[in-house]
Amino acid sequence: MKDKSNNNKNEFIPNWTEEAPKAGSYRSIFKWGDPKAFKHPNNELYSLFKSELGLTDNDFKNKINEGHEMVVCDSPVNITNDQIDSLISIVGSENVATDDYSRVKYSSGKTMEEVTKLRARTIDKVNDVVVHPRDKDDVQKIVAYCNNEKIPINAYGGGSSVNFGLAPAKGGISLALNTHMNKIISFNENNQTVLVQPGMMGPAYEDILNNAPEKLNARRKYTGGHFPQSFEFSSVGGWVVTLGSGQQSSYYGDAYDLVVSQEFVTPSGNFVTLDYPATATGPKVNDIMKGSEGSFGILVELTMKVFRYTPENQQSFAFIFPTWEAAAAASREITQGEFGMPSVFRISDPEETVMALKLYRVEGTIFDKIIRMRGFQPMQRCLYIGQTEGEKGFSKHVKKMVKKVCKAHGAMYLTGYPLKNWKHGRFSDPYMREDAHDYGIILDTVESPVTWDNLHKLHEGVRKFVKNRPNTMCLTHASHFYPQGTNLYFIFMAKYSDLDEYKAFLEGIMDAVLEHGGSPSHHHGVGKMFAPFMERHLGKEQMAILQALKNHFDPNNIMNPGQLGLGK
């Protein structure tokens, strides 16, 4: 459905793609999200893109590399027929695939580089075979067999990786965990925990928990509390092994905090960590495994914390601040104020605020007029949107305190209206990526955690690099808050001459991030994309510790070689 605001007669509207990709096409692999769902830039955004990126309507007349062709993969299958037969004997022939499409699909994530190459029908290294294990016994047999035969195994969860996490550096097997291993095994209402298979996707997981009285015979409704932007296309196991965060994690905690225990299958042995709420029995193996991104072994089951589901207690709010400094100072005060945390908590920098006021439809409303009247200046003012939840009185009190702090920092209250609009598009905004890319425009993101005392230095340092390139947008927000700091999420958007120019630019951004005290990742993980930055970031000694663990679990280096910069 096209956006209503695009129906203005006198304006040119690009012919945004409105058809689901053909089955078997490149586009069906790289398209974000639901094949049949689309979100196009509204009129205001389209105008903004043109002016900011130095483009005209003419740049939006001819699409480039739409990827409608059927996938062809010339890469030979590098494992033997005997080996394939052995895999078939474990999981059945219906669960072993060597067709071109499967091999390419299960070797691809959603990085702009992968998408650009798929559009150009350039196939990088792919897996030799895709295997769909039915249960953890299958995984055990596969890992044991592959360890003997020295066949690499690359785990595949929801497929939403944005860091080459799914790219099989040495070929081998892509292990598709979301095909069969995607169910809740048991629910423990006393402990508020759920035992789940790693390949369960976000919406199915949340749906069962929200409807726990009917679906789990529970006394109450529950929520998993984890809502990354990739929610619809990411798996519970994927959240944990990549250390994901969600849009409500400032209240519920990051994926790291949600995991009570895990069962792992590794080449050196299988184990379940224990489900105590706390222990003092030495270093916590349960925590050591988190973030291992398939390089230690395969996560086959996990016990997750769940929370009471009380949407009726949610309170939403938005504020406009006179400056980024004021928004950041208020955020710190809220985070350190010890009155409880909002769940949704997002401050946009001045450049992102320009876009956000359009995207969340504040522009043109009565709020817009008052904001102008009161002297909040474009490219200075900053939007803060948020939501509180939890028990009713708690949620109300947090909102009350947020208001108090924001007002003390010169902010104006905008009601819950912008949050409502943000919520509406919270998972669909990335769908605009394909629209832009159809016309050669790359929209990508880099993100980093940051302590409060380094927030402005990192923000300015990265912005300076990005904005030094003409016709390049740089939108920044902070969306995950901790008493000790927050994250900075940089969205950059531009038309590049070619992939190499884009890659060099991205590398420059990463340099700027590290140079100004940032980390390669707050919640996107490492994969193979950030692997080259790991040693520079963590130092040799920390990398040696991770490599020592790798050597212990995976002496033959078959588990996702190259992931995290380990076992190269």
**By CB under 8 A, what part of segment 214-253 binds a second copy?**
242-245
Question: Measured between alpha carbons, how far is 10 from 401 in angstroms, rounded to an integer?
Answer: 47
Decide: helix, strand or coil at residue 323.
Answer: coil
- 157 near a second copy, rule: CB under 8 A: no
CB 103 within 8 A of CB 75: yes
- Tell me how far, at minimum, the Cβ of 377 lies from a second copy, in Å: 26
Degrees (nearest 5) of the Cα angle 29, 35, 37?
140
**By CB under 8 A, what part of segment 323-362 binds a second copy?**
332, 336-340
- Tell me how far, at minimum, the Cβ of 452 lies from a second copy, in Å: 4
**By CB under 8 A, what part of segment 294-313 binds a second copy?**
305, 307-308, 310
Mark the segment that binds a second copy (CB under 8 A) among 27-35, 116-124, 129-137, 262-270. 262-270
Question: Measured between alpha carbons, how far is 561 from 568 in angstroms, rounded to an integer?
Answer: 6
One residue of 130, 534, 558, 559 binding a second copy per CB under 8 A? 534
One residue of 526, 529, 558, 559 binding a second copy per CB under 8 A? 526
One residue of 113, 254, 351, 434 binding a second copy per CB under 8 A? 254
Question: Measured between alpha carbons, how far is 529 from 163 in angstroms, rounded to an integer?
Answer: 5
- 276 near a second copy, rule: CB under 8 A: yes
- 459 near a second copy, rule: CB under 8 A: no
Mark the segment that binds a second copy (CB under 8 A) among 65-73, 226-234, 287-295, 470-478. 287-295
- Tell me how far, at minimum, the Cβ of 360 lies from a second copy, in Å: 26
Mark the segment that binds a second copy (CB under 8 A) among 9-17, 76-84, 288-296, 436-444. 288-296
Q: Computed over its alpha carbons, how large is the radius of gyration of the chain? A: 24
CB atoms inside a 10 Å sphere around CB 211: 14
13 or 288: whose CB is closer to a second copy? 288
60 or 553: whose CB is closer to a second copy? 553
One residue of 289, 300, 383, 411 binding a second copy per CB under 8 A? 289
For residue 472, CA distances in Å to 39, 237, 322, 445, 446 come to 22, 36, 24, 13, 14
228 or 440: whose CB is closer to a second copy? 228
- 519 near a second copy, rule: CB under 8 A: yes
State the binding string over 158-197 for a second copy (x if CB under 8 A, else -).
Answer: ------------------------------x-xxxx----
91 or 546: whose CB is closer to a second copy? 546
**By CB under 8 A, what part of segment 17-56 binds a second copy?**
none
187 or 439: whose CB is closer to a second copy? 187
Q: Which neighbouring-strand residues pair with 513?
A: none
CB atoms inside a 10 Å sphere around CB 183: 14
Helix (H), strand (E) at residue 481: strand 481-482
One residue of 102, 537, 561, 567 binding a second copy per CB under 8 A? 537
- 198 near a second copy, rule: CB under 8 A: no
- Tell me how far, at minimum, the Cβ of 74 lies from a second copy, in Å: 34
* Packing angle of the helix pair 392-408, 324-336 (nearest 10 deg): 140
CB atoms inside a 10 Å sphere around CB 397: 16
Amino acid at residue number 518: G
Amino acid at residue number 301: E
CB 16 within 8 A of CB 38: yes
**Token pair 């904001």 is at which residue?**
371
Decide: helix, strand or coil at residue 477.
Answer: strand
Burial of 142 (0-12, 13-18, 19+ CB in 10 A): buried
For residue 365, CA distances in Å to 371, 382, 480 come to 10, 17, 28
How many residues lie near a second copy (CB under 8 A)?
92
Q: Which has the closest alpha carbon to 25: 76, 64, 72?
A: 72
**By CB under 8 A, what part of segment 467-506 binds a second copy?**
480, 482-487
**Token pair 């009917």 is at which residue?**
214
353 or 448: whose CB is closer to a second copy? 448
One residue of 76, 311, 375, 393 binding a second copy per CB under 8 A? 393
